[in-house]
Amino acid sequence: MAKTKRKGRKKTNRFTKLKRPGIIVSGIFLLIAAVTGMFMLSVYLGAFGRLQSKQELLGFKNATASLVFSEEGRIIGRFFSENRTNVSYSQIPDHLIEALIATEDARFYQHKGIDSRSLLRVVIKTLLFNDAGSGGGSTISQQLAKNLFGRNDYGLLSAPVNKTKEVFLAYRIENIFSKEDVLTIYLNTVSFGENVYGIEAASRRFFNKQVEYLTTDEAAVLIGMLKANTIYNPRLYPENARIRRNVVLRQMEKYDYIQPPEADSLCQLPLILNYSNLESRNPAGYFLVQVKKEAELILQNLDSLSGRKWNIEEDGLIINTSLSLDLQNSAIKAFNDHLPRMQRRLRDQYMTLAGVSTLEGIAQREMTRLNLTSRAGDTIFQRTFDWQGSYNESVTVLDSIKKALLLLHGGLLALDPATGAVKTWVGGIDFTSQPYDQILARRQLASAFKPVLYTAALEEGINPCQFLDNDSIVMVEYDNWTPSNYNHTYGGKYTLSDALAQSLNVPTFNLFLDLDFRNIVSLWENMGFSYPMKYAPAIALGTAEASIAETAVAYAAFANGGYKINPYTIDSIMTYNGEVIYRRPLHTEKARIISERSSLLMRAMLQKAIDQGTGISLRNVFGVTLPLAGKTGTSQNYADAWFAACNPSLVIVSRVGASSRAIHFSSGSNGSGSALALPLVALTLRNAQENRELAQRLMTPFPELPPELQRVLNCIELEERSIFERMLDIFKREDINLDRKEKEPAPETGRPSFIRRLFRRN
């Protein structure tokens, strides 16, 4: 048998077998390094958008909220594009800095913006495996870069590109700024959710305090929110926030910022917030609208003078206002005490059989006016205001209209009659759901108009002790219109002083006939009222319309000696660094609109209305002891209730009524000025009296009248007629028939004087 030759094995070197995989692995790593290097170089060179330069980083400025302060120095609001208030490093407590570093970047003081250990983790997880959620690699400086410039969308490369940009920017940031600066800028830019940016705004939002007063556990709550500001929001998810707070505290213990016993103690504390959201529940919401309008006008004027452009929402200005927050809170409390009770009474009135039918008819007419009749049965989802707490509900369009119609609205304004400074501005019952400002709404002034008419009489030389007839009159040419007193009595004579104090309509109308209508119109306009007054008998009883703001300006003239004031809200505006860029002049020219004599006499007559007349409940029911002069007003059918009062340091006006004049109380016991509007002022002032400092400022006594004016006011007792004579008077009313041409004088000539003489009472 032939031997077959065995094929021999190829000899191999065992080192070759080991070397080839090593070469492959090395090659892979070299390739990865090359690709990574090329990628990072392309990012650096701007292939995915240029990086911010050192100059741009140095010039970066946060949009900073402007802060609004009351006269007591308490913050009442912010104007912002981003709700942020910058603070300096010295204002940030050490334990807050320590909580931040322990939780977010333990080696912060050892690196130059890039932590190599964390960076390696980012390179492997994010760049190789495109794991955008890997996290854990960003230093505080890298997070700051993200906060300053955000992140862009690059598709699949979004995470690698953005992370790489942040690495380069973090390095630049740390070469430009000190470690303290980095921490300060970071804490001023980071978001805490709820449209809140920066540690100061967050501290005020969740704990209602400045950042320097945060305790260690409170600081830990806020730092804990940085991981996820919604999930760890202490208002929305308090248990999550408490657990996260304790994680932060344990990190502080781990890095020796606090000792174990302190950490144990702090972790046992309950989570207690003092949540303050001025944007959603602000006691001065209506007022801030006026402040912003006034501030923007001031800044526009400054812009034109200096050439610099100020932005109220971004420049972090300090706006000091005239508002007394103490008095404002007193007024808010008055609204909360009085109006819920009156609201229940109004709803009860419209729950009766007759009331339901009346409301249905009014609502149907309103639907027609709004062109909503076809949608009456449609269901809508709305936020419904209620004094016990607003709530969400599904209602039909018709029911929504009914709820809106039955809502009582009110406004209250207080000014300094000497300067025009706004001290209180409550423009409605709820700024969030009812933003229409009742201070600016024009409604029939009713008997609150009478002081204007009586002042016109004083200006014409008529004395307060002159008698006025209380005999009934029928205006034939005005559809037999006749004035009637509140108590429907007639007869006798009353002095001007008594007729005003008792708010008698018939004597007032007789006075109206006795005056030159042109003088009434002139005074009305000079006092600042905008309603175009035209001659009509009912004008005497207050059918002319006015706003609360206009009425306050008019009554201020009774308190300040006869001058017209211009209301204002802003005392000064400063930059965040304290530079004053605007200060209201201490002395401004005021126009005289009534004589000093008339002002002093009217003030004394209105004091009588408070102490003996329709405003007497201010004293004997509510116990208000402040020196005051004032007047109630009740419009036709109790549609609107008014009360205005003043003294040398305060003029205060309130009005209450539904949005539609068709909705109103059915009796004066609920709907009169003394029952519905006066309590708002009375409760406001009673609450203010309990504040000693505030009461002292408001307790300015009226100066003593000169002897000659005291004699003018020293009236004899009013002349009364017997009950029998008054009853007879009802059957012998005097009819007055005015020729159409004579009863409506041309605006430029007024009412002819012979007509006035013709109907003068004998």
In the predicted model, is pLDDT for residue 202 greater than 80?
yes
Strands 443-444 and 408-415: unpaired
Cα–Cα distance for residue pair 346/260, rounded to 1 Å = 62
Domain borders along the chain are 81-267, 409-424+443-567+589-756
Residue scoring higher pLDDT (472 or 648): 648
In the predicted model, is pLDDT for residue 338 greater than 50?
yes
**With contact defined as beta carbons under 8 Å apart, do 681 and 652 qualify?**
yes
Residue type, position 381, single letter: F
Banded model confidence at residue 18, pLDDT cuts 50, 70, 90? low
C-alpha pair distances (Å), 674 with each of 38, 231, 398, 543? 83, 52, 33, 19
C-alpha pair distances (Å), 237 with each of 13, 218, 240, 470? 67, 15, 5, 70
H helices then E strands: how many in the chain? 29, 22
What's the predicted TM-score (pTM) here?
0.80
- Residue 723 burial by Cβ neighbours in a 10 Å radius (0-12, 13-18, 19+): exposed
Residue 733 contacts by C-beta under 8 Å, 6 or more apart in sequence? 471, 472, 473, 474, 482
In the predicted model, is pLDDT for residue 207 greater than 90?
yes
- Residue 626 burial by Cβ neighbours in a 10 Å radius (0-12, 13-18, 19+): buried
Residue scoring higher pLDDT (641 or 127): 641
Cα–Cα distance for residue pair 494/719, rounded to 1 Å = 7
| Residue carrying structure tokens 């759901």 | 433
Query: What pLDDT is recorded for position 738?
Result: 43
In the predicted model, is pLDDT for residue 117 greater than 80?
no
Q: What is the number of other CB atoms lying within 10 angstroms of the CB of residue 660?
A: 15
Residue by residue, DSSP assigns 387-411 as TT--EEEEEEHHHHHHHHHT-EEEE
Q: What is the number of other CB atoms lying within 10 angstroms of the CB of residue 467?
A: 19
Q: Which of 48-57, 295-304, 453-462 has the lowest mean pLDDT?
A: 48-57
Q: Please give the average per-residue pLDDT across 677-684, as a whole number.
A: 98
Furthest-apart CA atoms within the chain: distance in Å: 168
Share of the chain above pLDDT 90, in %: 62
Cα–Cα distance for residue pair 533/265, rounded to 1 Å = 73
Q: What is the number of other CB atoms lying within 10 angstroms of the CB of residue 67?
A: 21
Residue scoring higher pLDDT (227 or 123): 227
Torsion (CA) 722, 727, 730, 733 in degrees, nearest 10: -40
| Residue carrying structure tokens 């946060």 | 62
**DSSP conformation class of 151:** -
C-alpha pair distances (Å), 456 with each of 449, 527, 597, 706? 11, 11, 12, 21
| Bridge partners for 469 per DSSP | 493
Query: What pLDDT is recorded for position 119?
Result: 62
**H helix intervals, 48-129:** 54-58, 94-104, 116-122
Query: What pLDDT is recorded for position 293?
Result: 96
Cα–Cα distance for residue pair 83/92, rounded to 1 Å = 18
CATH of region 409-424+443-567+589-756: 3.40.710.10
| Bridge partners for 316 per DSSP | none
Angle at 645 between CA 644 and CA 646, to 5 degrees: 135
Query: What pLDDT is recorded for position 251?
Result: 95
Residue scoring higher pLDDT (437 or 142): 437
**With contact defined as beta carbons under 8 Å apart, do 217 and 266 qualify?**
yes
Q: Please give the average per-residue pLDDT across 340-347, as a whole number.
A: 97
Cα–Cα distance for residue pair 686/679, rounded to 1 Å = 10
Query: What pLDDT is recorded for position 700?
Result: 85
Query: What pLDDT is recorded for position 672?
Result: 95
Determine the 3-state secondary structure of 68 from DSSP: strand
**With contact defined as beta carbons under 8 Å apart, do 642 and 657 qualify?**
no
Share of the chain above pLDDT 70, in %: 80
| Residue carrying structure tokens 């013709």 | 758
- Residue 237 burial by Cβ neighbours in a 10 Å radius (0-12, 13-18, 19+): middle
Q: Please give the average per-residue pLDDT across 150-157, as a whole number.
A: 58
Query: What pLDDT is recorded for position 325?
Result: 96
Query: What pLDDT is recorded for position 596?
Result: 96
Query: What pLDDT is recorded for position 462?
Result: 94
The reply to whether 81-267 and 409-424+443-567+589-756 are identical in fold is no
**With contact defined as beta carbons under 8 Å apart, do 565 and 429 qualify?**
no
Q: Please give the average per-residue pLDDT across 556-575, as a whole number.
A: 96
H/E run at residue 113: none
pLDDT, tens only, 415-466: 999 999 999 999 999 998 899 999 999 999 999 999 999 999 999 999 999 9
Residue 161 contacts by C-beta under 8 Å, 6 or more apart in sequence? 43, 48, 152, 154
In the predicted model, is pLDDT for residue 138 greater than 50?
yes
C-alpha pair distances (Å), 549 with each of 415, 425, 427, 522, 683? 9, 10, 10, 19, 20
Q: Please give the average per-residue pLDDT across 160-186, as a whole number.
A: 77
Residue-averaged pLDDT of the chain: 85
Determine the 3-state secondary structure of 494 from DSSP: strand
CATH of region 81-267: 1.10.3810.10
In the predicted model, is pLDDT for residue 722 greater than 50?
no
Q: Please give the average per-residue pLDDT across 313-320, as a whole number.
A: 93
**H helix intervals, 225-324:** 238-254, 260-267, 285-306
In the predicted model, is pLDDT for residue 747 greater than 50?
no
**With contact defined as beta carbons under 8 Å apart, do 331 and 414 qualify?**
yes
**With contact defined as beta carbons under 8 Å apart, do 494 and 471 qualify?**
no
pLDDT, tens only, 692-707: 888 888 888 899 999 9
Distance from first CA to last CA of the chain, Å, rounded? 168
